[in-house]
Amino acid sequence: MTGNGRHNGKIPNVAASVSDLTHDVIELSELQVQLVTLDAKHSMQKARACLVMAVIGAAMLLGTIPVALLTIAALLVETLEWSYAASAGVATLVGLLITAIVMGVAYGYVKNGLVSFDRSTEELRRNIAWLKSTLRTRGHAEKAASRATDHPITY
């Protein structure tokens, strides 16, 4: 529409607008899938390394803990003159404490390894915000153009 209220011959092309928007959404979806794939690979690498370290740590722990606990129990019997039962009980508690610490560290590695989709989540949030903004902007522009052609100003 021109400044004098007459239509300038350009009719808004809704089909082209929807086609452009669909194209943009498809491209964003493809990029989002690529990002999720990369994040999944990265997460699997971290989880794999964590699993290997946990298995090695568990094997070493299983191999040395009995010897260490027996040593602690023997030390308590010889130095403090405790009974064998009391010494074994304290040594068991020490073993449980060490196991809890090791498992807590392993849990931290697993948690960090599996929560690496922050990039994908943030990018998806931005893409959705862009799509909403684009739909809102194009929708207002098409409504305004439609109103202008439906109700030309005549003098």
Q: Is residue 38 in a domain?
A: yes
Name the residue with tokens 């021109």. 2
Please give the Cα distance from 60 to 73 (Å, whole number): 20
Tell me the residue range of the domain where 39 lies.
14-150
Please report the pLDDT score of residue 78 as a whole number.
Answer: 94
DSSP state for residue 3 in the 8-state scheme = T
How many domains are contained in the chain?
Answer: 1
* Contact (Cβ atoms closer than 8 angstroms) between residue 3 and residue 149: no
Q: Is residue 155 in a domain?
A: no
Please report the pLDDT score of residue 100 as a whole number.
Answer: 93
Q: Is residue 74 in a domain?
A: yes
Q: Is residue 6 in a domain?
A: no
Please report the pLDDT score of residue 62 as a whole number.
Answer: 84
Q: What is the pLDDT of residues 99-118, one digit of tens each?
A: 899 899 988 887 776 656 67
- The C-alpha R_g of the chain, in whole angstroms, comes to 34
Q: Is residue 4 in a domain?
A: no
Q: Is residue 8 in a domain?
A: no
The pLDDT confidence band at residue 51, using thresholds 50, 70 and 90, is confident
Please give the Cα distance from 54 to 76 (Å, whole number): 31
Which two three-digit tokens encode residue 142? 């098409």
Please report the pLDDT score of residue 35 as a whole number.
Answer: 84
The arithmetic mean of pLDDT across residues 55-84, rounded, is 89
Q: How many CB atoms lie within 10 A of CB 91?
A: 21
Q: Using alpha carbons, list the distances in angstroms from residue 45 to 62, 122, 139.
A: 26, 21, 44
Please report the pLDDT score of residue 138 as a whole number.
Answer: 65
